[in-house]
Chain A
Amino acid sequence: MVTETANIKVNRPGASKSGEILVDIRGIKKYFPIHKGLLSRVVGQVKAVDDVSLAIRQGETFGLVGESGCGKSTLGRVILRLQGATEGEVVYQGRDIHSLRGQELRKLREEMQIIFQDPFGSLNPRFLVKDIIGEPLRVHRNLTAKQIDERVVELMELVGLDASRRNRYPHEFSGGQRQRIGIARAIALNPKFIVADEAVSALDVSVQSQVINLLMKLQRELGLTFLFIAHGLNVVRHISDRVGVMYLGKLVEVGETETLFAEPLHPYTAALLSAIPKPVPGRKQERIVLQGDVPSPANPPSGCRFHTRCPFAQERCSQVEPQLVEAAPGRQVACHFPLQPGTAMA
């Protein structure tokens, strides 16, 4: 693989702009080995996340979008150290969280939390709701049963649940309510940073809007910073301050939500945006229909990973891998031939 220049190595989206950086992701790689044969020899690697750098600012919502298999969930998990990184570091409050041990790591867990996608799979069906929400308090705080109960009531009211139902099991709640239980659990320890991994994707529209409103309210009231991972672009547009687009393990474009959606620079971003069916009948939109499927991350294409599906690919795209470079203030794109603002395809 040929890299273009070495001097743009430290180019973390967001790092240059004002606003204190809360989580600084530097050159994160996460490879999964592919085992084969009787001796389980490693025959290859799935490059789920391949050299992603990104700075998340205090108090913002950073949206991460991309299609299934692009590595967005893996990145979210590596940022929380739910999985180790193959390479790179995640700096939180001046320290790489992947080097923390023991008490320090335990302390960190209080400050970073996650909300999962599946409101059915992420709650233990044999736990009462008060035990699910109270569990982080029992693990991390030295509280009496009465204090825990008071906090559970407080949390349930905060997320809009009827606290008198805390002695019930998760199956007695609807999907939207369960997602609220998951949110209450995530905020129980007053975290600073929350990764919401497809937190509203499994919900129906009318319930989805309730949960989105709740997340935004909590962010305002508790001063949370969100990494909002989703494939639903209109949800991401609504909730995020900045957005990063991933394709096959790489970050291909980063920018402020408004400008990125209005004037995508990367052809993949443009195609992704044009693919969303809009609830307006009779408007036959110009759509860029990408050919084929996402290639396998075990064997990504040479050069630009998108060149096999890109309508504008040229010779150079299959040979030289484009780096994520600053295209405008606060705007990064990894493309040799970015679209010109104003001449967007759609």
Chain B
Amino acid sequence: MAEKLLEIRKLTAGFLTENGVVKATDRISLSIDKGQTVCLVGESGSGKSVTSLAIMRLIDYAGGMVMEGNITFRGQDLTTKKQEEMRHIRGNQVAMIFQDPMSALNPVFTVGEQIAESLRLHQNKNADEAWSMAVDLLRLVGIPAPEIRAKQYPHELSGGMCQRVVIAIALACNPEMLIADEPTTALDVTVQAQILDLLRKLQAELGMSILLITHDMGVAAEMADRVAVMYAGAIVEEGPVEDIFNQPSHPYTVGLLQSIPGFEGERGGELYTIQGTIPPIGQLPSGCRFHPRCPHATEVCRQKEPPEFMIGADHRASCWLYEDKPVHIGDDHSSREEVKPAW
């Protein structure tokens, strides 16, 4: 049995606004084992990034707060920690990489200085030690001629190289968990392939866990052990990657997968669409948050919020369809190419 590294239980995080409390994540639960990669997928505004900020307790600085629930990391509850204590955990035990590598780096310091900084702060290295470790880290993340590159400024590096530097900073203190928030979204596909390969290689070497946040189902399929699908602040389905892609169960997951222009499928046909758009988090509909867009919605969906139902041994979905009997609404992969959904 794998060891649990991070466990999130019924986490509600959000913001106080003029119009009252806005819950960006609504009682979400998720756990990550040691050495595992969990992908959090969803569209813009689904609450993926707020989840990552809440884990790091950076949400406090973004004007929000954790309102309810626990985040247990290696047996300690992060939600009750003081920011001072969090500062030791951040960087040392949990590190984060962001979407836009250009703006994550400070333009007036060389990249070597920026990597060395975290070593000096978190591991009390002296300047020389920190510098030589910084160069080693640049080598580790596959930057050619690291001695020269360390002395360069971010603008002298390409987007892909900057993202490698950001990864080097994150890895500087050997974190046990890496949170990567859309790490390849700003990059071209060929560079994305390099960065994903790098993350996989580093994970194999260093044995860290990765929480990967992405909107790209292709990236999730490739990287994840487990996938959690978020919609309007809630995790609507969660399970092993094969289950999510081969037997998607929540109508939202099914719709999301069917909306992707098929790579092997029929070309030029009408694409499946989910009607309407994701509601703003302040204005969630009654009952199931997905019901206005759901082709299966019934009366109960409009009135009562669905709890989580187990679909398989290790696969859950929040949908009334699964209340008393296992129903199979998602097509398996072989028939997913069809333009019209099976129902």
Q: Which A residues fall within an 8 A CB radius of B?
A: 67-68, 174-177, 204-210, 212-213, 216, 231, 233-235, 237-239, 257-258, 271-272, 274-282, 287, 289-290, 293-294
Query: Count the B residues whose beta carbon is within 8 Å of the partner chain — how many?
Result: 46
- The answer to whether B267 and A279 have CB atoms under 8 Å apart is no
What would 16 A/B residue contacts be, using CB atoms closer than 8 Å?
A: A68-B188, A204-B215, A206-B255, A206-B278, A212-B261, A233-B189, A234-B261, A238-B267, A257-B267, A277-B221, A277-B222, A279-B220, A281-B242, A281-B244, A281-B245, A282-B241
Cα distance, A210 to B161, chains bound together (Å): 35
B66 at the interface (CB under 8 A from A): no
Which positions 23-49 of chain B face chain A at CB distance < 8 Å? Answer: 43-44
Cα distance, A204 to B252, chains bound together (Å): 13
B contact residues around A278 at 8 Å (CB): 218, 221-222, 263
Cα distance, A313 to B120, chains bound together (Å): 44
- The answer to whether B263 and A275 have CB atoms under 8 Å apart is no
- The answer to whether A293 and B215 have CB atoms under 8 Å apart is no
- The answer to whether B196 and A212 have CB atoms under 8 Å apart is no
Cα distance, A290 to B274, chains bound together (Å): 36
Assuming the contacts A281-B245, A282-B242, asked whether A209 and B271 have C-beta atoms less than 8 A apart, the reply is: yes
- The answer to whether B268 and A279 have CB atoms under 8 Å apart is no
B216 at the interface (CB under 8 A from A): yes
Contact for A290 among B190, B196, B242, B272, CB less than 8 A: B190
New A-B contacts (12) at CB < 8 Å, excluding given A206-B277, A294-B158: A204-B44, A209-B273, A216-B268, A216-B270, A233-B189, A276-B189, A276-B263, A280-B221, A281-B221, A282-B241, A290-B190, A290-B194
Which positions 266-290 of chain B face chain A at CB distance < 8 Å? Answer: 267-268, 270-274, 277-278
Measured CB to CB, the closest approach of chain A to B36, in angstroms, equals 14
A contact residues around B224 at 8 Å (CB): 281
- The answer to whether B274 and A271 have CB atoms under 8 Å apart is no
Cα distance, A212 to B267, chains bound together (Å): 12
- The answer to whether B194 and A289 have CB atoms under 8 Å apart is yes
Measured CB to CB, the closest approach of chain A to B45, in angstroms, equals 9
Task: Specify the main secondary structure of chain A where it touches its partner.
Answer: helix
A contact residues around B255 at 8 Å (CB): 206
Cα distance, A239 to B267, chains bound together (Å): 7
Measured CB to CB, the closest approach of chain B to A12, in angstroms, equals 24
B contact residues around A239 at 8 Å (CB): 261, 268
Measured CB to CB, the closest approach of chain A to B142, in angstroms, equals 10
B contact residues around A210 at 8 Å (CB): 273
B192 at the interface (CB under 8 A from A): yes
- The answer to whether B196 and A277 have CB atoms under 8 Å apart is yes
Assuming the contacts A204-B44, A206-B256, A276-B189, asked whether A238 and B221 have C-beta atoms less than 8 A apart, the reply is: no
B160 at the interface (CB under 8 A from A): yes
Cα distance, A272 to B257, chains bound together (Å): 22
Rank and list the top 4 A-B pairs by shortest CB-CB distance, nearest first.
A277-B218, A238-B261, A204-B43, A67-B188
**Interface residues as binary, B141-152 with A (CB distance below 8 Å gives 1, 0 otherwise):** 000000000000
- The answer to whether B190 and A205 have CB atoms under 8 Å apart is no
- The answer to whether A293 and B161 have CB atoms under 8 Å apart is yes
Measured CB to CB, the closest approach of chain B to A193, in angstroms, equals 19
Chain A residue nearest to B219 in the complex (CB): A277
B contact residues around A174 at 8 Å (CB): 277
Which positions 213-247 of chain B face chain A at CB distance < 8 Å? Answer: 215-222, 224, 241-242, 244-246
Cα distance, A175 to B260, chains bound together (Å): 18
Measured CB to CB, the closest approach of chain A to B221, in angstroms, equals 4
Contact for B160 among A177, A274, A276, A293, CB less than 8 A: A293
Measured CB to CB, the closest approach of chain A to B320, in angstroms, equals 21
A contact residues around B245 at 8 Å (CB): 279-281
A contact residues around B220 at 8 Å (CB): 279
B323 at the interface (CB under 8 A from A): no
B300 at the interface (CB under 8 A from A): no
B contact residues around A204 at 8 Å (CB): 43-44, 215, 278
A contact residues around B217 at 8 Å (CB): 205, 279
Assuming the contacts A204-B43, A281-B245, asked whether A234 and B260 have C-beta atoms less than 8 A apart, the reply is: yes
- The answer to whether A205 and B263 have CB atoms under 8 Å apart is no
B contact residues around A67 at 8 Å (CB): 188-191
**Interface residues as binary, B200-218 with A (CB distance below 8 Å gives 1, 0 otherwise):** 0000000000000001111
Assuming the contacts A213-B270, A234-B262, asked whether A275 and B218 have C-beta atoms less than 8 A apart, the reply is: no
B76 at the interface (CB under 8 A from A): no
Assuming the contacts A67-B190, A272-B190, asked whether A206 and B261 have C-beta atoms less than 8 A apart, the reply is: no
B193 at the interface (CB under 8 A from A): yes
B259 at the interface (CB under 8 A from A): yes
- The answer to whether B241 and A275 have CB atoms under 8 Å apart is no
Cα distance, A318 to B305, chains bound together (Å): 64
Measured CB to CB, the closest approach of chain A to B57, in angstroms, equals 28
Which positions 54-100 of chain B face chain A at CB distance < 8 Å? Answer: none
B333 at the interface (CB under 8 A from A): yes
- The answer to whether A238 and B277 have CB atoms under 8 Å apart is no
Chain A residue nearest to B243 in the complex (CB): A281
Measured CB to CB, the closest approach of chain A to B268, in angstroms, equals 7
- The answer to whether B261 and A209 have CB atoms under 8 Å apart is yes
A contact residues around B221 at 8 Å (CB): 277-281
Cα distance, A234 to B189, chains bound together (Å): 12
- The answer to whether B158 and A293 have CB atoms under 8 Å apart is yes
- The answer to whether B194 and A279 have CB atoms under 8 Å apart is no
User: Which of A205, A274, A278 neighbours the largest number of chain B CB atoms within 10 Å of its CB?
Assistant: A205
- The answer to whether A212 and B191 have CB atoms under 8 Å apart is no
A contact residues around B246 at 8 Å (CB): 281
A contact residues around B278 at 8 Å (CB): 204, 206
Measured CB to CB, the closest approach of chain B to A66, in angstroms, equals 9
User: Which of A177, A235, A278 neighbours the largest number of chain B CB atoms within 10 Å of its CB?
Assistant: A278
Assuming the contacts A174-B277, A210-B273, A287-B193, asked whether A234 and B188 have C-beta atoms less than 8 A apart, the reply is: no
- The answer to whether B271 and A279 have CB atoms under 8 Å apart is no
